[in-house]
Chains A and B, each alone.
Chain A
Amino acid sequence: MTAVTTPKKEKFIVPIGPQHPALKEPGHFEFAVDGEVVTDATVRLGYVHRGIEKGAENRNWTQNLYLVERICGICSHIHALTYALGVEALAEVEAPPRAQAIRVLVAELERVHSHLLWFGIAAHEAGFDTLFMYSWRDRETIMDILEALTGNRVNYSANLLGGVKFDVTDAQRAIILEGINFLEERTHHYLNVATSDGMFLQRTRGIGVTRLQDAQRLGIVGPTARASGVMRDVRVDAPYAAYDAFPINIVIETSGDLEARFVVRLKELFESFRLIREILDNLPPGDLQVKRFPRRIKPGEVISRVEAPRGEVFYYIRSNGSEQPDRVKVRTPTLCNMASVLSLSIGHHLADVPMLLVGIDPCFSCNDRGVVVCSSEGSHDQWTWERLRQYGIEYYAKKV
């Protein structure tokens, strides 16, 4: 008897990534298309895994502050802030109010920079390069402000364990206010463009609609969730740093499409501008850092949550009483939102896929950190930092 092979229906798969013009970071998506319509989607992540969590176990508490800051180039302050807040909670030390306010100030400035950056990229994915160029030009203002304030354009290094590094001088205050005024005016313009430009609306209105129930079911976070009407914002749900002294108003849209995501992010900018002005006007007096922060932290574990520009950043930190953390686990908002891209893109046109992908503001290097320590036999094998490094060297030596 001959084996009967059933003809398998072949799928036409369009790969996006790992190296693709739509993505500035490596991530691999496979979209099965029927003509122009996407019928199936899969994702493969992990191309920029850098072993940071493992690396954190081999550095002391202070050194890690600089390591976690390098998880993401866009929300670097947020990572350092989350880590610092977690470690401070473990050590039962609290940073002075002035330091907390400055932390929030930098966080909000960073949010402005992140949202403007996202706005430009989203416009570029839609093929609207003029908007991209303009928003990135205006983003330079906020980059200059951050540089004037912290001395750095990317990894601001504002946090210390138990405080911040710098104070806000009157000259810096003037620079910030001037920049914010300019950006507020520009943001009004962008909001107008994003909600009234007919050609642009054709690409955003009614595209990628996520209903409230779906957003809740998939566990979407951040502005993406708020665009679907989910009242979820760590700054309000569990105020950290100085957010109880300087509360924010949640920006909510209910339509859940790409346009709503644009509107939510742009309107959040106005909230940030308001908050920045408020903090600059009412900066609490006092010290910038605590007198002494312990080298060793007594055993314990802590969960630290912060609202990054993209959504909730979650840190789990465990101490075993030594100078180094026993475990640092990071979960970034991209991971929470990724499932929504895959489920959303089915039924949409291939041309909408980059827009949908960018709609969640993905950050792949934030995302890719997991270390697999389970071998096939199921025995849990601990990898040391040295072994991980050696594995990396051999892996790439084999490739060449």
Chain B
Amino acid sequence: MESVINVAALLVFPGGLFVIVTGLFYQWIDRKIIARLQNRLGPRWFQPFADTVKSLAKEEVVPDHVNPFLFVALPIAALAGALTAALYVPMAGLRPAFSFPGDLIVTVYMLSLLTLCTGLAGANTRDRFSLVGATRALTQLFAYEAPFLLALLGPAIVAGSWQISEITAYAQAHTWMLVMQPIGFIVALIGLMGKLELPPFDSPEAETEIVAGAMTEYSGRGLAVFHLGQAVELVIGLTLITSFYMGGFSNPLEFLLKTIGVLVVLAGLQSLMTRLRIDQTVGMWWRYGALLVLAQWLVLFVVELLYT
């Protein structure tokens, strides 16, 4: 019985179909809102699903001079990493499938696997656009990773645990941490945009310079799987941020409302900003992002010292 539940957790909820479907749905909301903000109509609700099905059905062209094993395996590893991360996150207000002390760190690093795989996939193909895109993706990874992790550790420190479910339980019982740690919330939100390579942090896939960045040579299945990975990551990122900073959630409806609320903010930010150059992205993260989070940590420690 135990194994049946585990398999279901991997395939259906929260690890498999559920996050993928939710991710595609969220991507549609994101695209639709941006389109409406830009005075366009935007896609119909099934467009991300249709795109995925179409790409999955198409032939995957493996270019010359690549390691074919890596070429096929990297998208799968990226999606697997993202899906594994989903197992530790309390989806839709329900208990996570697996949980152990310190799973926050595992989750965050499983999420990084997608960027890492993107970078390796770009470096694997002998395309100049891919190489430049891969370099940028990895450069950007080193820029936002630390501030993003630090921003997620802020609530962990207050809750006194590095276990996602415990932090969520703590967040539910106390005032929204958005109020207590506003800087951490902003850095986490913008960090998520960096992680998902959304504008203004989309220089790794800037279409006007390097076509599609690291993804240039990918087509068909590989591309679809990478996109699914991004969709999954979008859901996990939104869930983590809302459950930590916006008082957690106790039921699926609350989950939907809160995460979509954050998604609307993300879409608004995306349509407001100009793409940054990679040096500007890195400079911004280390100069402002990291320092702001550290300043907030300092405040947290001082407050904790005073109260205990």
Q: Mark A312-352, 1 if CB is under 8 A from B, else 0.
A: 00000000000000000000000000000000000001111
CB distance from B113 to the nearest CB of A (A): 25
Indicate if the CB atoms of A352 and B277 lie closer than 8 Å.
Answer: yes
Provide the bound-state CA to CA distance between A133 and B36, in Å: 11
Is there a chain B Cβ closer than 8 Å to A389's Cβ?
no
Is there a chain A Cβ closer than 8 Å to B247's Cβ?
no
Interface residues of B in 263-282 (CB under 8 A from A): 271-280
Q: Which of A128, A133, A350 contacts B209 (CB 8 A)?
A: A350
CB distance from B105 to the nearest CB of A (A): 32
Answer whether A137 and B39 are a contact pair too, CB < 8 Å, given A22-B208, A199-B200, A351-B209.
yes
Indicate if the CB atoms of A36 and B272 lie closer than 8 Å.
Answer: no
A contacts, CB < 8 Å to B = 12-16, 20-22, 33, 35-36, 123-130, 133-134, 137, 197, 199-200, 202-203, 349-354
Is there a chain A Cβ closer than 8 Å to B37's Cβ?
yes
Answer whether A203 and B277 are a contact pair too, CB < 8 Å, given A354-B208, A354-B209.
yes
Residues of B within 8 A of A21 (CB): 207-208, 211
Residues of B within 8 A of A20 (CB): 211
CB distance from A31 to the nearest CB of B (A): 10
Provide the bound-state CA to CA distance between A174 and B206, in Å: 43
Provide the bound-state CA to CA distance between A203 and B276, in Å: 7
Which chain A residue shows the least CB distance to B272? Answer: A130
CB distance from A140 to the nearest CB of B (A): 11
Residues of A within 8 A of B274 (CB): 123, 126-128, 197, 199-200, 202-203
Indicate if the CB atoms of A130 and B278 lie closer than 8 Å.
Answer: no
CB distance from A26 to the nearest CB of B (A): 15
Provide the bound-state CA to CA distance between A124 and B199, in Å: 12
Residues of B within 8 A of A126 (CB): 274-275
Is there a chain A Cβ closer than 8 Å to B174's Cβ?
no
Indicate if the CB atoms of B276 and A133 lie closer than 8 Å.
Answer: no
Residues of B within 8 A of A22 (CB): 207-209
Is there a chain A Cβ closer than 8 Å to B38's Cβ?
yes
Is there a chain A Cβ closer than 8 Å to B10's Cβ?
no
CB distance from A19 to the nearest CB of B (A): 10
Provide the bound-state CA to CA distance between A126 and B206, in Å: 9
Having A20-B211, A128-B273, one finds 4 other A-B pairs with CB under 8 Å, namely: A125-B208, A127-B274, A199-B273, A351-B278
Is there a chain A Cβ closer than 8 Å to B128's Cβ?
yes
Provide the bound-state CA to CA distance between A319 and B211, in Å: 47
B contacts, CB < 8 Å to A = 37-40, 128-129, 131-132, 135, 199-200, 202-203, 206-211, 271-280
Q: Which of A13, A127, A197, A202 contacts B208 (CB 8 A)?
A: A127
Provide the bound-state CA to CA distance between A147 and B8, in Å: 62
CB distance from B128 to the nearest CB of A (A): 5
Which chain A residue shows the least CB distance to B280? Answer: A202
Residues of B within 8 A of A134 (CB): 38-39
Indicate if the CB atoms of B276 and A199 lie closer than 8 Å.
Answer: yes
Provide the bound-state CA to CA distance between A134 and B277, in Å: 23
CB distance from A175 to the nearest CB of B (A): 22
Answer whether A133 and B206 are a contact pair too, CB < 8 Å, given A199-B274, A352-B277.
no
Indicate if the CB atoms of A353 and B276 lie closer than 8 Å.
Answer: no
Interface of B is mostly: helix
Which chain A residue shows the least CB distance to B38? Answer: A133
Q: Which of B200, B278, B279 contacts A127 (CB 8 A)?
A: B200
Answer whether A130 and B208 are a contact pair too, CB < 8 Å, given A15-B128, A199-B276.
no
Which chain A residue shows the least CB distance to B200? Answer: A199
Indicate if the CB atoms of B39 and A351 lie closer than 8 Å.
Answer: no
Indicate if the CB atoms of B209 and A353 lie closer than 8 Å.
Answer: yes
Provide the bound-state CA to CA distance between A54 and B72, in Å: 52
CB distance from B190 to the nearest CB of A (A): 13
Residues of A within 8 A of B206 (CB): 127, 351
Q: Which of A124, A127, A202 has the most CB of B within 10 A?
A: A127
Which chain B residue shows the least CB distance to A126? Answer: B274
Provide the bound-state CA to CA distance between A199 and B21, in Å: 34
Provide the bound-state CA to CA distance between A200 and B132, in Å: 23
Residues of A within 8 A of B279 (CB): 36, 349
Residues of B within 8 A of A351 (CB): 203, 206, 209, 275, 277-278
Q: Which of A127, A128, A130, A137 contacts B37 (CB 8 A)?
A: A130
CB distance from B217 to the nearest CB of A (A): 15
Indicate if the CB atoms of B199 and A127 lie closer than 8 Å.
Answer: yes
Provide the bound-state CA to CA distance between A354 and B274, in Å: 14
Indicate if the CB atoms of A133 and B39 lie closer than 8 Å.
Answer: yes
Provide the bound-state CA to CA distance between A202 and B278, in Å: 12
Pairs A–B under 8 Å by Cβ, sample size 19:
A14-B128, A14-B129, A14-B210, A15-B128, A21-B208, A33-B132, A35-B135, A36-B279, A127-B199, A127-B200, A127-B275, A128-B275, A129-B38, A129-B199, A129-B271, A199-B273, A350-B209, A351-B209, A352-B277
Residues of B within 8 A of A36 (CB): 132, 277-279
Provide the bound-state CA to CA distance between A199 and B274, in Å: 6
Residues of A within 8 A of B40 (CB): 133
Provide the bound-state CA to CA distance between A129 and B37, in Å: 11
Residues of B within 8 A of A12 (CB): 128, 131
Residues of B within 8 A of A124 (CB): 208
Residues of A within 8 A of B276 (CB): 199, 202-203
Residues of A within 8 A of B132 (CB): 14, 33, 36, 350
CB distance from A17 to the nearest CB of B (A): 11
Which chain B residue shows the least CB distance to A125? Answer: B208
CB distance from B282 to the nearest CB of A (A): 11
Residues of B within 8 A of A128 (CB): 273-275
CB distance from B231 to the nearest CB of A (A): 21
Which chain B residue shows the least CB distance to A203? Answer: B274
Residues of A within 8 A of B131 (CB): 12
Provide the bound-state CA to CA distance between A202 and B39, in Å: 25
CB distance from B114 to the nearest CB of A (A): 22
Residues of A within 8 A of B271 (CB): 129-130
CB distance from A347 to the nearest CB of B (A): 13
